[in-house]
Every structure is written in C-alpha cells, then in structure tokens.
Amino acid sequence: MKKKILENIKTIFYALIIALIIRSFFFQPFYIPSSSMEPNLLVGDRLFVSKYTYGYSRHSLPFSPQIFNDRIFYEEPKSGDIIVFKTPTDNRTDYIKRLIGLPGDSVQIINEKLYLNDKKIKTRLINNSYNIKCGDNFFYANLYEEILPNGTKYIAAYRKDGTIKNTDKFIVPENHYFFMGDNRDCSKDSRFLSSVGYVNFNNFVGKAQIIFFSNNKEIASFFKIWRWDESLRFDRFFKKIK
C-alpha cells in the first residue's frame, strides 16, 4: 500500500513538472475577461499563447522570478500581432492587446483614422451600426477593416458617440512598443500613459495563437451542462487568432 502511494505521488510530481515546462516554455492558456478586444476576441474566450515566439524573459516563468533581466532568444514582433504582456505599472497584471507601433514609430488617431508615421493606413467601413459591448453596457460603433503597412488585416471598432476619435501623437521609444485594443473606446492601453503607456519588450509574455474554447457566461455558466447548446460558442473552438 505504501509503495503504491509513493508511486502515485511520483506520478503527480512528474506530471506537474511537465505541465510547468509546457506552460513556461511552450504554451500557456489565457482567459479573456473584458471586451477591450471585441469584436475579434470575446469575453469567455480561452486561448493558447505561445511563449517561444518572441523569446523568453522573466515574465515567461510563473511569478516572474528575477532570474535574468534581459530577453533571450529575442525575435522581433510584427505590427498587428495580438500579444499578452505584463503592464509596466506593476509588472504583474496580464493584458492582451494588438501591437500597433514599433520602436521609433509615431501613432495617432485622427477622425477615427489610424495614422502610422504620419501616413493614414488603409481602412474600409464594414458596418456603421454594430452593437458592441463595453463592460456591462452596449453601444453602437463603426467597424472598420484596418490594413497595416505590412498587410495585416483586422477589425477595429470606434464608438459612434465616442470620445477617442482623436488622440495626441505618440512617439514610441527605443525597445518599447505601442498597443491598442480593437474596441478602441473601451480599452485601457498605450494611449493611457499613466496606467499602461509604452511596453518594454521584456514585458512580453507571448503571442495569442488560437482560441481553444469559448463560453458565453451571460447566457449560462459552463457548469450548467443542460444549457451548453446555448452558451458554448462552438464556431469559435480551435479558431486561429488574426
């Protein structure tokens, strides 16, 4: 009996070690808690983030131990990538946003149009009355397909009666990056210098790759199995993130 108990403990220990290695160096699951990335990522989406895409920093490991101060095996991110990072204000809170500005870039919104390095990026209005969520509220928004200079396409929402139709011009410092949520009037991101601001590349956790599960908890909790046909978003299972 004692031998069997010891074998079970060893099995659990090895399983935990393997899980820790996978989580730290390969893939980590994340949950979307807010509507700042709608309509592309929804509250209730669960996704895998690749930890190796941009190399590793202390934030790649659980609890961000002060093992090393720089980033190793660093790979340059691309504009348009959706990235999980630790907020610069506390180096602890995970945020997920879209990378818009690289080091040295200028970023500005003028009349709901995004400008990179003083050039307006290509846009296409695809919906002028989209009902989008922000916290517990809904509002109507204009949906634009935005096309970055590198060809990355995504959908961005601008509240029709919003206050962030125009911004200051932001100049991204060296080794830092500028992020925005796709739900432009419902996102605390690099436009808010006192709370998020420019993000150092050492704060990157990983790149969002795929949605593996999604549940609309406003319809029903995941544990209400009898309502899965209503609450589970089956069309989002194993959906690649763009």
User: Which residue ranges make up each domain of the chain?
Assistant: 2-240
Lowest mean pLDDT among 16-20, 85-89, 99-103, 142-146: 16-20
CA pair distance 231, 215, nearest whole angstrom: 6
Closest CA to 78 of 27, 153, 28, 188: 153
Q: What is the pLDDT of residue 165?
A: 80
Measure the N-to-C terminal CA separation of the chain; round to a whole number of Å.
52
Q: What is the pLDDT of residue 37?
A: 97
CA pair distance 84, 29, nearest whole angstrom: 11
Written as six digits, the tokens of 226 are: 């009898």
Tell the residue number behind the tokens 């956790």, with chain if given.
205
Give catalytic residue positions. Answer: 36, 97
pLDDT tens by residue, 44-64: 999 999 999 998 888 887 777
Lowest mean pLDDT among 16-20, 26-30, 115-119, 218-222: 16-20
Q: What is the pLDDT of residue 200?
A: 95
Is pLDDT of 14 > 70?
Answer: no
- Please state the pTM of the whole predicted model: 0.88
The CATH architecture of the domain made up of 2-240 is Ribbon (2.10)
Q: What is the pLDDT of residue 61?
A: 75
User: Across all residues in the chain, what is the average pLDDT?
Assistant: 89
Q: What is the pLDDT of residue 27?
A: 83
Beta bridge partners of 68: none
Secondary element (H or E) of residue 155? strand 153-159
Handedness of CA 151, 156, 160, 162 (dihedral sign): negative
For residues 189 and 105, is the Cβ–Cβ distance under 8 A? no
